A and B are shown apart, each in its own frame.
Chain A
Amino acid sequence: MNRSILLIGLLIAQRAFAQSDTTLAPMDADTTRASLLADSVQNLNPRTPVITITSDDLDSELGSQDVSGILQSSRDIFTSTAGFNFGSARFRIRGYDSENTLVTINGVLVNDLETGWASWSTWGGLNDVTRYTQVRTGIGATRYNFGSIGGSSDINIRPGALRKGLKVSYASANRAYNNRLMVSGSTGLLQNGWSFSFSGSRRWAEEGYVPGTSFNAYAYYMAAEHKIDKRHTVSFAGFGAPLVRGRQGVAIQEAYDLAGTNYYNPNWGYQDGVKRNARMNFDHKPLMMVSHIFTPTDSINWTTSLVYTFGRDGATGLNWFDAKDPRPDYYRYLPSYNADENPALAAEQSTAWRLDPNVQQINWDQLYFANGKNLYSVLNADGTGETITGNRSKYIVEEQRADPSRVGLNSVYSRILKNDQHLTVGGSFNHQRTHYFKTIDDLLGGDFWVDIDQFADRDFNDTLISQNDLTRPNKVVREGDVFGWDYDIHTRLVNVFGQYEKKWTTLEVYAGLQLAQTSFWRVGNVQNGRFPDTSEGKGPTNDFFNVGVKAGAIYKLTGRHFIAANAAYLNRPPTSNNAFISARTRPNTIPGLQSENVMSTDIGYVVRYARLKARATLYYTKLANQVWSRYYYNDEALTIVNYSMSGVDQINKGVELGVEANLTSTWQMTAVYAGGDYRYASRPLATITRNNSAEVFASNRTVYWENYKVGGMPQTAASLGLRYNSPKYWFAGVNGNYFGNIYLDPNPDRRTVEAIGNYVSTDPQVTQLLDQEQLEDNFTVDAFAGKSWMIKRKYRIAANVSVSNILDNQDFKVGGFEQLRYDRTEVGKFPPKYSYLYGRNYFAMVTFSF
């Protein structure tokens, strides 16, 4: 086997030390809007996954039976520390979003084609299976795909690749879930050429670390592989992870202070004495895959896989009509709203908010009560001319669905050539259709809901314009019925790539090329009253042809000192979830839609001695011409608007340092430093459009965004670790972690001439509008320990525990956002929302395997 990528191997973790999970980072949940719709008021990306390599699943990896394997010399201390110790603080390697890292399963791309994100929750709970992941960070040579600037994670779920044996584990934790039970088994290669694997798990919590959150997930995996002969192997694998969880919300500091905890969660309330969460996630997207591996000679590997996935991706939330806002942290319910004008009322509100759980949280009983007696007659119901009389729900729980179905075909041919050369070529076809719609989850005691758009109803006062379905005006909907919007987004990606590698004694080089064609379009399934001519049917196709090139080299100064350099240029289409002005109502795309240009380069110095391993890397990446779109209530226009920007440039540069020193045969010390500088680097042009009509409020509005810091993650992180490995099969360690340069992502509209117009530089509003908030630097300590026993040389029992944030630092703001809604005269009226790092928390597991 060609060893030409030896050094690349040094730079990356050969085994996924850390299993990732998708956290549902609440984005601009700017829902402060009186008495109208809740969830659709949020921006377009209500569920931005951020891959934090530290999720709860990850911790189970520590001390699992592969600990010694994980600690093999080839792993990169920077990457593993970043994943393991920095993840909970939302650190992202080089500041990259999820779309910059490709995730493949058996070679097939599984990043969502619409968002670019890889949704790790799809296979959450299958850690025993997905641990066989090759993680590559940054640009490099890879034989699975062209990769991206953030690297790639290639998950191998073929039974032949899994370790033979049976393994059962139980874990207890106080994080998103409290219990995990997992069993996995694999036959290894049987004499008849077959191998089989399975895995199943359950993860659950009545209530997780955050009040009102719940977690109930299963996972299953089954696979079979048949080695037909020396040349052909076929395999089948299928898995899924049904997940139901109650989500955590974010709030403004006033709410946290009143509630007395930084883990206040506005999403739940008591219903008949039981805690109920309004924002539930329902996720189950089974995936099936067949693969064929063809090895006609020892030097050729040709892998072809076909994958199909489908399922449900739903998120519930409250919606209401002609009634007061049921959310407890609606800004008018907080004392600050009345503090100036009516201090007596503010004091009363303050007391009620602090002491009465029905004020501090959702008052479900009251919602049922209001719904149960709101007699209403719908005239011309469903357009039939008939009148339906019953209790019209003022409040409902609705489920917003984004159900994907996807087929992917991938084929990669890899061949060793003479003279230490290696060639890889491949291609893929992917088609994804995501069905977006809403259903009524719960009428909360009412009889029906009327399917009209509340905002259009208010804005136009026209009984046709406000209809969501013109073929059934005044549509009366009940639980399970589809309403609101109903459309499909299709995305098709076809690409080919090639990579050439060559190795000399002191130099190794590679170069790669990718060509890709992407198309996406919208198909509307209903005709709505706002856009009767365009809302239904297939919209225009948006086509993009893109090219990527990459190259890199490793120069071996000596056998222990290396210099590695990589560079890549690629352009890529805007993701379709950013491209549409408002896909819920029409097929129009934002102005200035064009491909993004990405340029990235890095250079590193690597030292490898038996007792000292170190790496230092400088990187520079420019992401140019990005698009950005959100949707929120605009105080200037007094309605819901779509805010789209094009020409968003961003520069991410910095340094990565990682040192791992074996002080003695048992004591090991690690030091890791990530110093980043991630900034916006252009003045994008914004277009503001009314959500309900084609009216454009502003076009080509210049956003003065240059040099604002990219928010939402620590740009600086450092960790110092000490670990003891006993020869008697136990280990323990401690890490101190430091995080700094964390910013709130800037609200673009506050950085415009229009926002600061009419003010002079001494007016306090100017700095209030323009300044970017930097969150406090913070320090955490984590510790871990484990021990394993062998019984009868056959059975292995391992126990391990990890405790994070031992100092119980509950004031560490790890994220937040400036609300998009703002009042230019009173900036503090809609203050930022924050989320906090969990306080002290643990994960403990016992594993039995044989």
Chain B
Amino acid sequence: MKSMNSLMNFRTLVYTLAVTAVLGACKKEYDAPPVRTIPQGQILTVAELRALFTGTPKHFGGDTSIYAVVTADEVNGNLYKNVYIQDHTGALIMRLLSSGGLYQGDSIRIYLPGTVLGSYAGMLQLDSVDVDNNVVKQSTLVHVEPQEVTMSQITPAMQGKLIRLNNVQFVEGDTGRTYANAITQATENRTLEDCNNGTVLVRNSGYSNFAGLPIPNGKGSFTAVVGQFNSDMQLFIRNINEVQLNGPRCGQNECLPIAELDEDFSLAQNNQNIMLECWINVFTEGTRLWKGIVAGSESFCEARPASFDVTTTSWFVSAPVQYSAGMQASFRSAIGNTWQHDGLSVWVSTDIDLVDGTGVANAPWVQLTEAALAGSGSPVGTWFPSGNIPLSNYLNDGDNFVIGFKYTGVPNTQATSYRIDDVLVQ
């Protein structure tokens, strides 16, 4: 009987425990909080909003909204805590309280209370925008066509707008530089010009993902948003792929492929970057280009590393040539100081639309391995013939092609300078 009681007690306890356990086992699921909405209130166009500025910062309190599309965002790093918006009536820059969350093509409603309409160095801006609390997205991937303008149309009236300039190029002093200083991340200005001496500043952030790219030296179209700093109008690149400067520069001829090439560099100027019509002289690493050398009656070109660069890679690309059967190439090369390394290589490519460093670096190159080059055994300054290099292995009848001389060097350790001369393709 006693043992029976024990057993009963035992069971009761187990059941009690089990029930307690089950009751307590409900997993705590969090409810989503009730949806909060941002009221709309009165609707203004961007132009109406801009017109509300009367010279002193305007703090918005009442119910007012504007609808607009984001035309430039922070993704490429050129803008930080800034985005540009536009509707059919006008455009405006918005300054965000914290970075992130708005992307090009977002169609948004901005609820104005809490924001401030003000002017910064002449640029009207909607300040203190809290993306989480002031902005409601309506849709994404909305395309806004840039307004095609000329240099002279870029005035304070264009503030904030997405524009496109055609037939423009960076000034010669900027080609060969990078967009900004990617090392120190310093923001830098570059100058864009048209062929009629009109110019405008292009302001590039050192944090942008294109800061370290070389400035293209061609002419073409340029898409950007318009900013202003005091009396300076400034353009901001929203996407580097919208910088399409790959045509011939102002005053340059179109470079049609030629039937044969015979270049003795007689136009070279001593110790100047060598610029030949239809030839391309660019670097893809470092800062130094191929330079001309005039020594007595001889002129040729030479590449070497710049002493302050880690590595220099520079390309000297011939004018385009049309291939015909049996065509051969030849040139001569020499080293310009005591041999330290083999820095020169010779390549062929059928991509003749190479203009800037990006194009050259990414072109489909094939190395002309048959070319004999000056090397470790060569006396300094003594020319070394390449021999006749048959191009039939690389090209088919009718191909247009260029020959690329690629130089790579490192100061002090791989600092052999290389010279080339008498490039002949026939």
Contacts and interface: CB of A to CB of B under 8 A. Distances in A.
Q: State yes or no: do A and B come from one complex.
A: yes
A364 B33 contact: yes
A73 interface: no
Nearest to B97: A324
Contacts of B35: 372
Question: How many A residues touch the partner, as a band?
Answer: 35 or more
Given A200-B21, A218-B21, A372-B35, A271 B100 contact: no
Interface string B209-251: 1000000000000000000000000000000000000000000
Interface residues of B, number: 41
Interface stretch (A188-196, A373-381, A829-837): A373-381
B141 A387 contact: yes
B101 A374 contact: yes
Given A202-B21, A375-B137, A272 B34 contact: yes
Interface string A432-475: 00000000001011000000000000000100000000000000
A442 B30 contact: yes
Contact of A271 (B33, B38, B131, B132): B33
Nearest to A461: B209
B130 to A, nearest CB: 9
A322 B73 CA distance: 12
B121 interface: no
Interface in B103-161: 103, 105-106, 131-133, 135-141
B394 interface: no
Nearest to B99: A35
Nearest to B136: A373
A476 to B, nearest CB: 14
Contacts of A442: 30
A376 B13 contact: no
A218 B27 CA distance: 13
B100 A323 contact: yes
Contacts of B103: 376
B31 interface: yes
A168 interface: yes
A181 B20 contact: yes
Interface string A663-687: 0000000000000000000000000
A7 interface: no
Contacts of A370: 101, 131-132
Interface in B1-57: 6, 9-10, 13-14, 17, 20-21, 24-25, 27-28, 30-36, 38
Contacts of A202: 17, 20-21, 24
Contacts of B133: 366, 369
A850 B6 contact: yes
A369 B132 contact: yes
B100 A200 contact: no
B140 A389 contact: yes
Contact of B17 (A200, A204, A244): A200
Contacts of B138: 375
A365 B131 CA distance: 15
Contacts of A323: 98, 100-101, 131-132
Residue of B24, B27, B100 with highest tally of chain A CB at under 10 A: B100
B101 A276 contact: no
Contacts of A365: 33, 36
Interface in A377-403: 377, 387, 389, 394
B98 A324 contact: yes
Contacts of B38: 373
Interface string A173-193: 000000001010100000000
Contacts of A375: 106, 137-140
Contacts of B17: 181, 183, 200, 202
B257 interface: no
A369 B101 CA distance: 13
Nearest to B103: A376
Contacts of A185: 10
A389 B106 CA distance: 12
A545 interface: no
A547 to B, nearest CB: 47
A307 to B, nearest CB: 26
Interface string A255-295: 00000000000000001101010000000000000000000
Contact of B30 (A276, A321, A322, A389): A276
Residue of A202, A366, A368, A374 with highest tally of chain B CB at under 10 A: A374
A442 B30 CA distance: 10
Contacts of A445: 32
Nearest to A201: B17
Interface string A298-329: 00000000000000000000000111100000
Contacts of A369: 33, 36, 132-133
B70 to A, nearest CB: 12
Interface string A53-74: 0000000000000000000000
A166 B36 contact: no
Contacts of B98: 35, 323-324
A216 interface: yes
Contacts of A394: 100-101, 132
Contacts of B20: 181, 202
B135 to A, nearest CB: 8
Contacts of B24: 202, 204, 216
A389 B142 CA distance: 13
Interface string B160-204: 000000000000000000000000000000000000000000000
A322 B20 CA distance: 45
B385 interface: no
Contacts of B139: 375
A368 B100 contact: no
B30 A271 contact: yes
Interface in A459-505: 461
A428 B94 CA distance: 67
Contacts of A274: 30
A370 B13 CA distance: 50
B77 A377 contact: no
Interface in A770-793: none
Contacts of B140: 375-377, 389
Nearest to A379: B141
B76 interface: yes
Contacts of B100: 35, 321-324, 394
A387 B100 CA distance: 21
A461 B140 CA distance: 22
Interface string B306-323: 000000000000000000
B191 to A, nearest CB: 25
Nearest to A376: B140
A732 to B, nearest CB: 30
Nearest to A166: B10
B32 A366 contact: no
Nearest to B77: A461
A89 B297 CA distance: 88
Interface string A200-235: 101010000000001010100000000000000000
Interface string A17-58: 000000000000000001100000000000000000000000
Contacts of B34: 272
A370 B131 CA distance: 8
A377 B32 contact: no
Nearest to A165: B6
Leading 3 A-B pairs by shortest Cβ distance = A322-B100, A375-B137, A370-B132
Interface of B: 6, 9-10, 13-14, 17, 20-21, 24-25, 27-28, 30-36, 38, 76-77, 97-101, 103, 105-106, 131-133, 135-141, 209
Given A442-B30, A444-B32, 8 more contacts: A183-B14, A204-B24, A216-B28, A323-B101, A366-B132, A370-B131, A377-B140, A389-B140
28 contacts: A35-B100, A181-B17, A181-B20, A183-B17, A185-B10, A202-B17, A202-B20, A214-B28, A216-B28, A218-B25, A244-B27, A271-B30, A272-B33, A276-B30, A323-B100, A323-B131, A324-B97, A324-B100, A324-B132, A368-B33, A370-B132, A373-B136, A374-B101, A374-B137, A376-B103, A377-B105, A389-B141, A394-B100
